Chain A
C-alpha cells in the first residue's frame, strides 16, 4: 500500500516534470514559428508594396494625357473626322 503510494507520487512527479519540459519546448516552438510567420508576413507586405509601386508606375505611364501627347505629337496620329469615315456593309 505504502509502496504503491510512493510509486504513484514518483510517477506524478515525473509527469509534472515532463509536462514542464514540454511547455518549454512548445513555447520555444511557438516563438520559432512566430518568427517564420513574421518573416513571411513581412515578405508578403513587401510584395504588396512593390505591386502598389508598379501599379502607380503603370498608371503614370498610361496617363491618358501622356498617351494623347505621344499619339498626336510623336506618332502624328489624329482622330478621324466623320467626313473621312466609310461604313462597310
Chain B
C-alpha cells in the first residue's frame, strides 16, 4: 500500500510548527490591535476627527451706534466671505476659470495666489471678502471642492460723510480704526465664539456637534449727537465753505450743563462707507486734532482774568487811543482807534490795545492760571483718539510781547472743541465739564471761576451781538446771544501770512444758555475774512436751528410764554434693544 510506503513524517513536529506560525501571527495581530486601540488610540482618534471635525469661529455681532434719539448711525449687516483650501481646489484646475468668472476676478491671478498659498502649506485662503449673501450663494452653487463660506459683518453708516469724522470706521476685520469706533472698540466689539462642526469631503459643514464657546455680542452705544442738528451743522458749514471759498472748517455744538456734544462736523469730509480712502488728510476730525491761534475769541478770558484780579471793574474805563500801542519792539494795533472803552466795550469792539492794557495790569501767572482753568493747553478729556492739547506756554517764558499777544489770542493755540468747552464753561456760570460723546455720561463738573464773574462776562458778551458790536450777524431772531468773534492770521513756515482764520464762539440764550457753539473757518478767500462776517452768520443759523430742535422758548421777544415747551423739552427716545 502506498500509504504504508509513504515516508514517515513527524506529525507532532508539524503540528507544533503550524501552531507556532499561527501563534506568532496571532500575537502579532493582537499586539498591533493593542497598539492601535489602546496605546495610540488618542493619536488615531485625533487624526480621524481632524478629517471631518473642525472648530470654526462664530463671529460676534458688533454693537450698533445710535444718536441721542435712538436713530441708527452705525449698523452691522452680515456679509459672506468666501475662502478655499488651495490643495483641494487645485485638484479641479479645469474649473478655475468658471470660479474666477463668478468671483469677477482674474483667473491667472487666482491661480497664482492659490499656488503660492499651497506652497506655504496653507489650508485657508480668502477668495473674496464681504460679498452679499446672494452673490456668494451663486458661487457656492458651483459646488467646487474646497470652496467654503464664512459669515462676517460689515458696518454701514447711514449718515455717511456727515458723521464720518465722529464715528470713524472699522477695518475689514471689523475692528475700530478711527473715531468712536476706535475709542469704544472694546465695548462695541463682541467676542467671537467657537463651535465644532462636521465637514464632508468637500469641506462643507454637515452638522454642528457642539458649541465650544458662545459668541458674546458687543454692546450698543448711544451717542450724545443729535442727528438732525448734525445734518444742519454740516449743511451750513458746507454752504459757508463754498460761499467763502475756504479750505477747511469745523463746527462744534455743546449742550450747556451736561457737556454733551450735540454736533461736530468738519469739512472736507469723507464717506466712511467706502473703503477707498483717497486723501487721508480728510480723515482728520479737525475740530479735535487741529490747533490754531484763536485770536480775539480769547479776549473774554482776558477780561475774566482782569475782573478776578481785582485791578479792574466792569465799569473801569481804558483809554485805547490812538489805536496803537508800542510794547517793546512790537506794535499792537486796533482796526481803527476806539478811544475810551469800558471792559464790555473792549469785547464789543474787539480792541487789541484794550486787551493788552488789561494784561499789563496783571501778573503772567494770573493770566496763565485763568487760561489754564478754562482748559487751554490741556486735552479736554473727551476720550477721542488723536485729540490735540493745544499749546499754552509756561508764564515764566512770557516776555512783555508774549504777554500782550496772548491777551488777544496769538502765541497760544487751541482746538475748536477746547474753545467750545471754555465758552460752555462761561455759559454755565463757571462750571467746567469734560465734553462727552456719550448720551447721559454725566461727567463731573468743577467750578473754575466765581459765578458772578462769569455772569458779568456773559453780560458783556451780549453786547458783541448787539447793535454796534462786532458780530451783529451772529444774532438769532427772538433769542439773546452771547459770543465773541475772532479773526486770526494764519502762521505758515514761521511767518504770518495774509491768510486768515475766522471764528465765532458763543452760546444762547444768553441768560439761560442751552447750547454753546464754535464755528471755525480756515482760509476764506472770497474777499471777506472777518469772524463777524464769515463765521457769525453760520453760528446764527446753526444755533437758531439748535434752539428750535431743542424746543427752547424764545427769550428775546415779549409775549412768548416761557413755560410752554417745558413739558416736551426732550424728545422721547425710542428704547433701543436687540
- Bound form: Cα–Cα A59–B70 in Å: 11
Judge whether A52 is part of the interface by a CB distance below 8 angstroms.
yes
Are B231 and A49 neighbours in the complex by a CB distance under 8 Å?
A: no
Closest to A52 in B: B75
- Bound form: Cα–Cα A49–B59 in Å: 13
Of the listed stretches A2-10, A15-23, A60-68, chain B binds: A60-68
Judge whether B323 is part of the interface by a CB distance below 8 angstroms.
no
Are A49 and B78 neighbours in the complex by a CB distance under 8 Å?
A: yes
Flag A48-75 by CB within 8 Å of B: 1 or 0 each.
1101110110111011110000000000
Are B560 and A52 neighbours in the complex by a CB distance under 8 Å?
A: no
Query: Which chain B residues lie closer than 8 Å to A48 at the CB level?
Result: 61, 578
Judge whether A1 is part of the interface by a CB distance below 8 angstroms.
no
Flag A36-57 by CB within 8 Å of B: 1 or 0 each.
0110000001001101110110
* Contact with B75, one of A31, A35, A56, A89 (Cβ below 8 angstroms): A56
Judge whether A82 is part of the interface by a CB distance below 8 angstroms.
yes
* Contact with A64, one of B76, B77, B231, B559 (Cβ below 8 angstroms): B231
Query: Which chain A residues lie closer than 8 Å to B76 at the CB level?
Result: 52
Query: Which chain A residues lie closer than 8 Å to B159 at the CB level?
Result: 59
User: Interface of chain A, helix or strand or loop or mixed?
Assistant: helix
Are A38 and B71 neighbours in the complex by a CB distance under 8 Å?
A: no
Judge whether B473 is part of the interface by a CB distance below 8 angstroms.
no
* Contact with A31, one of B209, B478, B559 (Cβ below 8 angstroms): B209
**Given A51-B578, A52-B75, A56-B75: A89 and B559 within 8 A (CB)?**
yes
Query: Which chain A residues lie closer than 8 Å to B156 at the CB level?
Result: 56
**Given A34-B208, A65-B231: A56 and B72 within 8 A (CB)?**
yes
Interface centre among B208, B209, B210 (most CB of A within 10 A): B208
Closest to A87 in B: B559
- Bound form: Cα–Cα A64–B158 in Å: 11
Are A64 and B228 neighbours in the complex by a CB distance under 8 Å?
A: yes
Flag B192-214 by CB within 8 Å of A: 1 or 0 each.
00000000000000011111000
A44 to chain B, nearest CB (A): 10
- Bound form: Cα–Cα A55–B70 in Å: 10
B interface residues, how many (CB within 8 angstroms)? 27
A56 to chain B, nearest CB (A): 5
B152 to chain A, nearest CB (A): 12
Are B478 and A38 neighbours in the complex by a CB distance under 8 Å?
A: no
Query: Which chain B residues lie closer than 8 Å to A52 at the CB level?
Result: 64, 72, 75-77
Are A56 and B77 neighbours in the complex by a CB distance under 8 Å?
A: yes
Query: Which chain A residues lie closer than 8 Å to B207 at the CB level?
Result: 35
Interface size class of A (residues with CB under 8 A): 20 to 34
Judge whether B284 is part of the interface by a CB distance below 8 angstroms.
no
Are B209 and A59 neighbours in the complex by a CB distance under 8 Å?
A: no
- Bound form: Cα–Cα A55–B78 in Å: 14
Query: Which chain A residues lie closer than 8 Å to B211 at the CB level?
Result: 34, 37-38
Are A65 and B209 neighbours in the complex by a CB distance under 8 Å?
A: no
- Bound form: Cα–Cα A31–B78 in Å: 27
- Bound form: Cα–Cα A45–B156 in Å: 17
Query: Which chain B residues lie closer than 8 Å to A87 at the CB level?
Result: 557, 559-560
Judge whether B42 is part of the interface by a CB distance below 8 angstroms.
no
Are B77 and A53 neighbours in the complex by a CB distance under 8 Å?
A: yes
Query: Which chain A residues lie closer than 8 Å to B228 at the CB level?
Result: 64
A84 to chain B, nearest CB (A): 12
- Bound form: Cα–Cα A53–B228 in Å: 21
Judge whether B569 is part of the interface by a CB distance below 8 angstroms.
no
Are B210 and A34 neighbours in the complex by a CB distance under 8 Å?
A: yes
Judge whether B477 is part of the interface by a CB distance below 8 angstroms.
yes
**Given A64-B231, A87-B557: A82 and B72 within 8 A (CB)?**
no
Closest to B227 in A: A64
Judge whether B235 is part of the interface by a CB distance below 8 angstroms.
yes
Flag B249-265 by CB within 8 Å of A: 1 or 0 each.
00000000000000000
Within 147-171 of B, Cβ neighbours of A (below 8 Å) are at 156, 158-159
- Bound form: Cα–Cα A52–B477 in Å: 41
- Bound form: Cα–Cα A35–B197 in Å: 11
- Bound form: Cα–Cα A66–B156 in Å: 18
Closest to A51 in B: B578
Query: Which chain A residues lie closer than 8 Å to B227 at the CB level?
Result: 64
Are B478 and A82 neighbours in the complex by a CB distance under 8 Å?
A: yes
Are B560 and A35 neighbours in the complex by a CB distance under 8 Å?
A: no
Are B578 and A60 neighbours in the complex by a CB distance under 8 Å?
A: no
- Bound form: Cα–Cα A53–B159 in Å: 15
- Bound form: Cα–Cα A56–B559 in Å: 43
- Bound form: Cα–Cα A11–B518 in Å: 87
A31 to chain B, nearest CB (A): 7
- Bound form: Cα–Cα A78–B59 in Å: 48
Flag B514-546 by CB within 8 Å of A: 1 or 0 each.
000000000000000000000000000000000
A53 to chain B, nearest CB (A): 6
Flag B542-564 by CB within 8 Å of A: 1 or 0 each.
00000000000000010110000
Query: Which chain B residues lie closer than 8 Å to A64 at the CB level?
Result: 227-228, 231-232
Please name the 7 residue pairs, one residue from A and one from B, whose CB atoms are nearest each other, closest first: A59-B158, A64-B231, A87-B559, A82-B477, A55-B72, A52-B75, A59-B72
16 A-B contact pairs sorted by A residue (CB < 8 Å): A31-B209, A34-B208, A35-B208, A37-B211, A45-B61, A52-B75, A58-B72, A59-B71, A59-B72, A59-B159, A62-B71, A64-B232, A65-B231, A82-B478, A87-B559, A87-B560
Q: Which residues of A does B touch, CB under 8 Å?
A: 31, 34-35, 37-38, 45, 48-49, 51-53, 55-56, 58-60, 62-65, 82, 87, 89
Instruction: Please give 12 more A-B residue pairs, beta carbons under 8 A apart, in addition to A52-B76, A56-B156, A82-B477.
Output: A31-B209, A31-B210, A34-B208, A35-B208, A37-B211, A49-B77, A56-B77, A59-B75, A59-B158, A64-B228, A64-B231, A64-B232
